[in-house]
Amino acid sequence: MAACGTLADAAALGIRHIVVTAALTVVGGTLLRFLDGKIAGHASSYDEGDAPSGGIWGRAGRALLSSLLQQSQRLLPWWAAAYGATAMFALVQVAASRRPEGLAVLLGAKGSASGVAFLAHLTQFLQDAAEEIVILLGAFTLLDFKRRAVAFCQALVQRNDRCGTMSDAVGLVAALGTMASGLIWAAAGMVTLANYGVNLRPLLASLGASSLVIGIAMQNLLRNVAAGVTLYAMRPFSLGDRIILRHVSGMVVLEGVVAALHPTRTVIVGEPELAVDASSGSSDSDSGEHKLTSFINNGDIVESMIVTNLSRIPPMVAASLA
């Protein structure tokens, strides 16, 4: 009976530990809500794209801290439950390992050894679950901060877009945010696998070998995306501008009106006799207006073409160049 008392004492100590953990969780959650409320006003201004308060880096830091506090409030109860259960079953496992006869009274002589092994596996699983919640905390914090950053950038673009010509830049920011989300989830998945004891060396070796193939396959896509960022930054033309694209040799490739600016290509509605020479994009004719819609890779525009924006030069000069 003394052995059974040892198991009972271990369970009682574990329950007390859970009660203390729950109390600390309530106190910690209250403190997190208090701190989050202190910086909520500053973080909301970051979302709305207002004028910087304390500098852009200071606002970014407050937004990151607010994301961390909010996600901590969501996951703290789950982490406390996993941590408390881990502590309780660890105490029971230690007591059962030192006094297996007490566990034998409950499970029988044959079930005593398997019971200790089960407790060990259960304790390890709960410990891994508690660590996984910390991993999710980091991932959710970065995702929420990314959401705030994307909202801020889109609001900033829309506020400065008085002519309505930068709508595609909003889409570019959203696309970059989606890519960032994928990278965050991929990193969280890798850390999760390592947390559960999966050997990542073979996986990393295979990824290293395949990354070269993937990089070559995506080289053209990345080239066009990088060129799209350059076009958004330099703004040689905007939606609705009439432009002339020439090769560096001087030959006219295409003349037309910019219809859309995508992350990888630019859509230009041009004249049939000029648009058919656009070798870097595909064309689709509009029989009603006798126009051709050409899709020009952004990489081709940046690397091998000269842009003449007829909408930004005097009419007489534009007529001489057209």
Write down the pLDDT at residue 115. Answer: 66
Most trustworthy range by pLDDT among 78-92, 99-113, 129-143: 129-143
Residue in 77, 64, 76 with CA at minimum distance from that of residue 143: 64
**CB neighbours of 20 closer than 8 A, spacing ≥ 6?**
none
What is the pLDDT of the chain when averaged over all its residues? Answer: 74
The CB-side HSE value for 300 (13 A sphere, CA atoms) comes to 16
The CB-side HSE value for 278 (13 A sphere, CA atoms) comes to 28
Q: What average pLDDT score do residues 98-119 get?
A: 60
The β-bridge partners of 270 are: 256, 292
The β-bridge partners of 268 are: 258, 294
Give the pLDDT confidence of 111-162 residue by residue, as tens digits: 556 666 777 788 888 888 888 899 999 999 999 999 988 888 878 777 766 5
Strand 283-286 relative to strand 291-297, pairing: antiparallel
Write down the pLDDT at residue 192. Answer: 87
- Do 32 and 69 form a contact (C-beta atoms < 8 A)? yes
Write down the pLDDT at residue 46. Answer: 44
CA distance 179 to 245: 31
Write down the pLDDT at residue 104. Answer: 54
